[in-house]
Structure 1
Amino acid sequence: MRHPPRSVLSVIAGAVALFASAIVPVVSAQGATTACTVEYAVTGQWADGFQGSVRITNDSSPLTGWTLRFDFPGGQRVTQGWNGRWSQSGTTVTVADESWNGTLGTGASVSAGFLASGSGSTAQPAAFTLDGASCDAGAGPTDPPPTPPTPPTTPPPADGTAPALHVSGNALVDPSGRPRRLLGVNRSGGEFMCVQGRGIWDGPVDDAALRAIADWKANAVRIPLNEECWLGLPGVRPEYGGAAYVAAVRDLVSRVEAHGMTPVVELHWSYGRYAGNSAGCSDVHATCQKPMPDMQYSPSFWKSVASTFKDDRAAVFDLFNEPYPDRATADAADAWTCWRDGGTCPGIPYEVAGMQDLVDAVRGTGAKNVIMAGGLAYANDLSRWTAYRPADPAGQLAAAYHGYNFNACADESCWNSTLAPVAAQVPLVAGEIGENTCSHAYTDRAMKWFDDHGLSYLGWTWNTWDCSSGPSLISAYDGTPTAYGVGLRDHLRALNP
């Protein structure tokens, strides 16, 4: 869903922060000539690889370009990197500046991140050089990344624990084999607040706020995320990105589950410049909905997210909010091929990560969580979903649909012809349903159809916006519904009195 207008604030270049849950002791280095200080850390790990970061502080004269080198001691190989130009020859890894971060004054710092294969090895480099000058062991940097928020000492009240989920035929089921329809709400904020420099969540996400959602008899909450904020890329304020952002998402997921609700973590806003048909913005950064995920960062995002939650089978992964490569090309086959395979796609100037790339990124971590993949036309078109479905070696793939009163596929005829055949093969989740009328006539019809077919649906959105521009389910975070939200609240309570 596109969001109400927001004033985008100036963003501040930040460092890649360290992930609170996976930090290992850093290697700090400082040469005899005080050329530099380097902090190296492993920030995420999976069966055959890991994610890491380097933070360089220039302790010498100002630089207008820089090159850092180090040797991997355990057979690791860099497979992807960001905030620098990464390469590897033998055991030697080289990362050089990008055009926008080459100036490094005395005392200034820059961070860069990478993914590497390692067959379980994360042995750390022993030495670094900056522009050929040795940086030997010594003190760490004087300006470390911000400390992540301290987790609460008292756990949230356990009103119920969300069950682990898996796909069985065309249904989502719990460990005992009981079907579980996902019926709930979206909780918007994590996709836009951080990149706009205004925080992480839009409104409270404490236990009282989550209890209000549960009081509607919801059993699922979809949580939109921003890939630049999760990865802590430059342009995101450190207090809202990287470690702080990851810690906040982990905490919200934990609290959602403690209230008996399934968390659906979802990539909403992503990187890549697109100014073509139906563009939401012309900004290369993750400040609006793009037609497809980007190859530069989206696979890294999902490898990191999957590594974070792979031991929590209650968490569901929604690969990408609302694909619309069909707006960039008039050829439906080209659009669906782009959706599945990515690469160079007609009308999209950046390299695309297809749904198969993202499934592979998740499964490469060993994660077996349920994965959702939305179709074309902002996830409203599932007409060729089964023909182009990505391969999932874990067999845990579900289809995602978004339906609003203003969409092309918004009535029983279309649902019968395009959704029902998909739902006969795999679980189908309406990740977003809603209308911009401040009423609920459309959502009432949609919920009835989905109920009749035993399918899942989540209302957009649990935020206190104007229901005609959001649309918004609530007028206050205590659960007071808008005229539109009354329909979903009363329906869920009727299903689960």
Structure 2
Amino acid sequence: MSSFAKPPNASPSSQHTRRTPWRVGVVAGGIAALMVAGTMVTANAQAAAGCRVTYAVPSQWPGGFTANVNVTNLGDPINGWNLAWTFPSGQRVTQAWNATVTSSGSQVTATNMSYNGTIGTNATVSFGFNGSWTGSNTAPTSFTLNGVACTGNVGPTTTPTPSVSPTVSPTASPSVSPTVTPPPGNRMEMVAAMQPGWNLGNTLDAIPDETAWGNPLTTREMLRHIRSQGYNSIRLPITWSNHHGPAPDYTIDPTWLNRIREVVDWSLAEGLYVMVNLHHDSWQWINTYPTDRTNVTNRYRALWSQLATTFRSHSPKLVFESINEPQFAGTSGDAESDQLLHELNLAFVRLVRQSGGNNATRLLVLPTLHTSGEQARMDALMTTFDELDDPNLVATIHFYGWWPFSVNIAGGTRYDSNVEQDIVGTFDRAYNTFVSRDIPVIIGEWALLSYDYTRPGIIQRGELLKFFEAVGHHARTRKLTTMLWDAGSFLHRPELRWRDQGIYEMMKASLTTRSATASSDQIYVPRTGGITSRSLTLNLNGASFRSLWHGNTQLSSGTDYTVSGNTLTLTQAAITRLVGNRAAGVNATIEARFSQGVPWQISIISYDPPTQAAATGTTSGFTIPTQFRGDQLATMEAKYADGSPAGPANWTPYKEFWTHFRPDYSANTMLLTPEFFAEVNDGAVTLTFHFWSGTQLTYRLTKSGSSVTGSPA
């Protein structure tokens, strides 16, 4: 998905600016493999000892590299180990997996984890790390295991003397896959540790390149900022279709692959779990699988084979997701599509597992068809889990809320029982189908479809806050991990700040507690006439009301407000003081504070009823002069003379905000779009504009071909 609403099989918006792809210089990933031999001392002087170490560098780039280390015990079993070496060129370890690595200058020591401390005779233990280098990246030539140098032979049963000199025997081949892989971790615990997550949306998935859809190049500073804001995982949506060669090899462009590896490595180094996938490939070519199985299968397997090989030795905190929002063209229905997805998911899991290394136990994420939260789609995915019987698989769905509310159509302007039940029903199904069976679920994308900072007003802010609060609560109580879809509407990436700090604070609080809300975050006061007291209903969500504040001033209970049960009433005197000279718009913002969660802000707004004027124009875009006068638009109805719905979505009179009508508060206009008129019959149409103050304006149109005239009723 992206920050704009589109059907699953639609292409991205044509309005995205195309820019020259970014390229980074990369040193070709050579392989350095050294076998170092020596004897090993154990606590028992009579124990036979000996080991072999293989150090390999499967990938290297300017300033960084990945190394794999295999330690084979040639002597009697040992329990507890540490491997030490000295970097000859001053390299540094930046991140390690399957071992705890410490450094003192150029001297490095790797110590076993709890699960791989025992090495039997002729058994191999493996670990890996990412490192940094300057000048050169010369491989170390000697290692000591438990304090004794190695020779690659079994030494005498007595303690060897320190005078034994190591010998070096370079090899020309990379290290083989480890013969002993770490036992699988607890997938429920690992996915829980990923909460919360964040999507680097409309970036590496952008077509044709990283900045084509308006986002800046990803930097390590940005990833560090995401981590500092409390996010524990990052999903990297990646589109590969423009970045690989032709059949039969489908070789991934090395520049692109190295860029992906760079972002992955930065993310891991910042302590984030990372999830990578095939993203818009789903609708670009994977969807032709029903009629082109051979080519799609070969391409799919070729891409995942290369990715599995590239990241085989990466940290277990790297997670693979098979396909984003899978869909198939030309099937007989969802049941057939479920079976096709089952085939691809099976191929994905088996291919990755056979690639060895850390991929043998890496978390693999499998989606439902369309990443839908419907019960039938979850049941179909469950059959895949049953067949694979793999303890390191994770289920994923996406969640964008109750559709009428998510895009503001059919009168879906408020967070109501329909929106609440949609959250509860979806999350309950995910829990009962998967989590109750110890299969973790990642909500790989979530937000509201039409929430976009470039299109203000589609979702009213207070109603949006209620949705974010509820999603966090219901996901947390059902042990679901959520990953926010952010294509630039939440984090302002160039300045590393939240576009709306209050939204971020609400989401953050929902990870640990509930926040109280209210029936509205707005109180509209007419600019003229008498002022009366006003009341709001509090949604306490388990909290208790504490106080009311205006800036740094605490309002007085009884004088400025009263609270009776869950009703907050502002007195006439308080509202009179807060609206001041009653200038149109927001005159004051007060804050209700509670025993838990974030405060609830309430805007005190002065307004006059909006007005509109007559206009003439065409169906290519009809503009109604509108004086908003401090008010804000909620929605618009369109009806023919007989009362039936007019325009698109003719099952409802309420049209889709922004897609069919758009307010422009700075220009004092209301635009009716070509998309609206494309499905309007010639003749009279009555429009009703609903404003958040409660004001309604009626406007009558007459359409004749491409000509439109209109005037207030």
| Bin of the TM-score, shorter chain as denominator length | 0.5 to 0.7
**Where does residue 359 of structure 1 map in the other structure?**
349
Which structure ranks higher in relative contact order (CA pairs < 8 Å, sequence separation ≥ 6)?
A: 1
Q: Is the aligned partner of 1:480 residue 2:498?
A: yes
The one-character-per-residue Cα deviations of 1:213-240 (angstroms, maximum 9, x if unpaired) are 1121111000011223453569xxx9xx
CA drift of 1:494 comes to 7.2
Asked if the contact 2:473/2:513 (under 8 Å) is kept, the reply is no
Asked if the contact 2:278/2:323 (under 8 Å) is kept, the reply is yes
Q: Is the aligned partner of 1:440 residue 2:465?
A: yes
Q: Which amino acid aligns with 1:254?
A: D
Distance 1:310-1:197 versus aligned 2 partners, 3 A rule: closer
SS class of match (2:378): coil
Distance 1:9-1:394 versus aligned 2 partners, 3 A rule: same
Aligned-partner Cα distance in 2 for 1:11–1:204? 12
CA drift of 1:457 comes to 1.0
Q: Is the aligned partner of 1:187 residue 2:182?
A: no
The one-character-per-residue Cα deviations of 1:118-177 (angstroms, maximum 9, x if unpaired) are xxxxxxxxxxxxxxxxxxxxxxxxxxxxxx97346999997x989999865661439xxx
**Where does residue 140 of structure 1 map in the other structure?**
none
Distance 1:487-1:245 versus aligned 2 partners, 3 A rule: farther
**Where does residue 323 of structure 1 map in the other structure?**
326
SS class of match (2:396): strand
The one-character-per-residue Cα deviations of 1:15-62 (angstroms, maximum 9, x if unpaired) are xx999664579xxxxxxxxxxxxxxxxxxxxxxxxxxxxxxxxxxxxx
SS class of match (2:208): coil
Q: Which amino acid aligns with 2:62?
A: T
Q: Is the aligned partner of 1:413 residue 2:413?
A: no
Asked if the contact 2:445/2:482 (under 8 Å) is kept, the reply is yes
Gaps of 5+ in 1: 26-147, 285-292, 342-353
Q: Is the aligned partner of 1:383 residue 2:402?
A: no
SS class of match (2:237): strand
CA drift of 1:181 comes to 3.9
Aligned-partner Cα distance in 1 for 2:253–2:213? 11
**Where does residue 686 of structure 2 map in the other structure?**
none
Aligned-partner Cα distance in 2 for 1:8–1:196? 11
Q: Is the aligned partner of 1:454 residue 2:472?
A: no
**Where does residue 244 of structure 2 map in the other structure?**
231
Q: Kindly report which structure 2 residues correspond to 1:249-328, keeping only aligned pairs within 5 A, or say none.
A: 249-270=260-281, 294-312=296-314, 313-325=316-328
CA drift of 1:453 comes to 2.0
**Where does residue 210 of structure 1 map in the other structure?**
223
Aligned-partner Cα distance in 1 for 2:491–2:355? 36
Answer with 473-482 or 356-365: which moved more: 473-482
Distance 1:407-1:363 versus aligned 2 partners, 3 A rule: farther
**Where does residue 336 of structure 1 map in the other structure?**
338
The one-character-per-residue Cα deviations of 1:247-266 (angstroms, maximum 9, x if unpaired) are 11111111111211101112
CA drift of 1:330 comes to 5.5
Higher normalized strand content (fraction of residues): 2
Asked if the contact 1:190/1:200 (under 8 Å) is kept, the reply is yes
Distance 1:393-1:418 versus aligned 2 partners, 3 A rule: closer
Question: Sequence identity of aligned pairs in percent?
Answer: 14
Gaps of 5+ in 2: 5-12, 33-59, 66-89, 100-181, 289-294, 405-420, 452-458, 515-713
Aligned-partner Cα distance in 1 for 2:283–2:399? 26
CA drift of 1:374 comes to 1.1
CA drift of 1:334 comes to 1.4
Distance 1:224-1:360 versus aligned 2 partners, 3 A rule: same
The one-character-per-residue Cα deviations of 1:406-431 (angstroms, maximum 9, x if unpaired) are 45994202321344321122111111
Answer with 163-172 or 260-269: which moved more: 163-172
Q: Kindly report which structure 2 residues correspond to 1:5-404, keeping only aligned pairs within 5 A, or say none.
A: 5-7=13-15, 22=29, 150-151=62-63, 171-173=188-190, 180-193=193-206, 195-196=208-209, 198=211, 202-232=215-245, 242-270=253-281, 294-312=296-314, 313-325=316-328, 329=331, 331-341=333-343, 354-366=344-356, 367-368=359-360, 369-381=362-374, 382-384=377-379, 385-389=381-385, 391-392=387-388, 395-404=391-400
Distance 1:415-1:329 versus aligned 2 partners, 3 A rule: farther
CA drift of 1:451 comes to 0.8
Aligned-partner Cα distance in 2 for 1:228–1:217? 33
Aligned-partner Cα distance in 2 for 1:197–1:206? 12
Superposition RMSD in Å:
4.5
Answer with 160-169 or 207-216: which moved more: 160-169
SS class of match (1:322): coil
Asked if the contact 1:401/1:429 (under 8 Å) is kept, the reply is yes
Asked if the contact 1:223/1:263 (under 8 Å) is kept, the reply is yes
Distance 1:166-1:397 versus aligned 2 partners, 3 A rule: farther
Distance 1:410-1:294 versus aligned 2 partners, 3 A rule: farther
SS class of match (1:228): coil
Asked if the contact 1:185/1:459 (under 8 Å) is kept, the reply is yes
Aligned-partner Cα distance in 1 for 2:98–2:403? 33
Q: Is the aligned partner of 1:422 residue 2:434?
A: yes
Count of residue pairs the alignment pairs up:
327
Q: Which amino acid aligns with 1:309?
A: F
CA drift of 1:397 comes to 0.6
Aligned-partner Cα distance in 1 for 2:234–2:92? 16
SS class of match (1:442): helix
Aligned-partner Cα distance in 2 for 1:221–1:298? 23
Distance 1:194-1:217 versus aligned 2 partners, 3 A rule: same
Distance 1:23-1:394 versus aligned 2 partners, 3 A rule: farther
Asked if the contact 2:395/2:434 (under 8 Å) is kept, the reply is yes
SS class of match (2:506): helix
Aligned-partner Cα distance in 2 for 1:376–1:415? 17
SS class of match (1:380): coil
Distance 1:173-1:371 versus aligned 2 partners, 3 A rule: same
Asked if the contact 1:319/1:372 (under 8 Å) is kept, the reply is yes
Distance 1:302-1:273 versus aligned 2 partners, 3 A rule: closer
Aligned-partner Cα distance in 1 for 2:284–2:331? 16
Distance 1:450-1:272 versus aligned 2 partners, 3 A rule: closer
Q: Which amino acid aligns with 2:393?
A: L
